[in-house]
Chains A and B, each alone.
Chain A
Amino acid sequence: MATSYTGPTIWGLIVVIGVLTFLIRLSFIALFGYLDAIPARISHALRFVPAAVLAALVFPSFITLEPGAGGIAVDKLAAGLVAGGVAWRTENVLVTIGAGMATLWAVRFGLLPLL
């Protein structure tokens, strides 16, 4: 599946995508610099960005709904639940990683082969 686009076209593409991506990244970082105060409505909404975005990034890694692929991956779900509990109790990133990986491996290599 090698492309038949030639050099200048490819480089044009790379630059256009790069510039647009940079403008997306810069958007509010630049805009808020021009404002003395961030409008109240926006700053209220911004309070929810970390939780909403992180959850949207994280949940699909632990709950994989793939039709035809046997439903939910049990090892990942178990690891996510255990790690979530550990994160809540300890608020420690490394301990959370340890608990999650240990659960993943225990279920994947210990428990699932027995079923």
Chain B
Amino acid sequence: MDRSEFRRGVEDVVPLLLGIVPFGFVAGIATVNAGLGLPEAVGLSTIVFAGAAQLAALDLIGRDAPLAIVVVTAVVINLRMLMYSASIAPHFQQLSSRMKAAVAYLLTDQAYALSIARYRGEDSVRSVAYYFGVAVTLWIVWQLTTVAGVVLGTGVPEPLGLEFAVPLVFLALLIPAMEDGPTTIAGILGGVVAVGGASLPLNLGLLVGATVGIVAGSLTAARMEEADGD
């Protein structure tokens, strides 16, 4: 494992922890509010390890919703990870099955966003160590903060809105990803549709927005190739 790439991943994820820490606390508190305890909080955070899905599932469990609804809700919220899996997979094709399983288990919004930006850079080292530096750090902080949320029962008071650093990091990764006409159209359309769909349940705004963006980018690229061919 490339230690300097691992360390670089750890360094890059630090600003995102401003968002993960309060989110982890909230997930811990939500477990208590749903009438569950520390074992279930740890179970959710280790076995599921997906914040938005954990919160939605806990809300439904607390209201005694039908079990099928709880499962479907959590799964639909996590469907966006299909896109992450497909997008990052070409960089991990050579890994052993066991490493692939570890990569998959640790796949999150943040780990995907930072790593794909790192791997897309032309002169960058494409080492899985970078991914693990990001993803393992997130995993550890997520476990600690969900437990802290259960035990302490309160969140971190946060009048300054420091968690706003998270979309700013994603924005800094988005701009270079819009590198030409078609990718710019993919980004702008994906973002605008996601804004329009922000009030949809189950995080569907994200899923629909991203899908529209990908289709629009592909169509634009195909049209430009056609025009070049003429």
Which A residues form the contact surface with B (CB < 8 A)? Answer: 1-5, 9-11, 13-18, 20-22, 24-33, 38, 42-66, 76, 79-80, 83-84, 87-88, 91-94, 96-97, 100-101, 104-105, 108
Contact = CB atoms under 8 A, between A and B. Distances in A.
Contacts of B187: 51-52, 54-55
B192 A59 contact: yes
B193 interface: yes
Given A24-B81, A47-B183, A56 B116 contact: no
A84 B47 CA distance: 36
B172 A92 contact: yes
13 contacts: A3-B36, A24-B79, A24-B81, A29-B88, A30-B97, A52-B211, A58-B174, A60-B205, A61-B170, A87-B174, A88-B175, A100-B168, A101-B165
A30 B190 contact: no
B70 interface: yes
Contacts of B80: 53
B175 A57 contact: no
Interface string B49-85: 1100100010001111001001100110011111111
Interface residues of B, number: 98
Contacts of A105: 160
Interface of B: 12, 15, 33-36, 40, 43-44, 47-50, 53, 57, 61-64, 67, 70-71, 74-75, 78-90, 92-93, 95, 97, 100-101, 103-105, 107, 109, 112-113, 116-117, 120, 160-162, 164-178, 182-184, 186-196, 198-199, 205-206, 209-214, 217-218, 221
Contacts of A28: 82, 85-86, 89
Contacts of A87: 171-172, 174-175
Cβ-closest 4 pairs across A and B: A2-B35, A52-B213, A59-B191, A55-B191
A44 B100 contact: no
Nearest to A109: B160
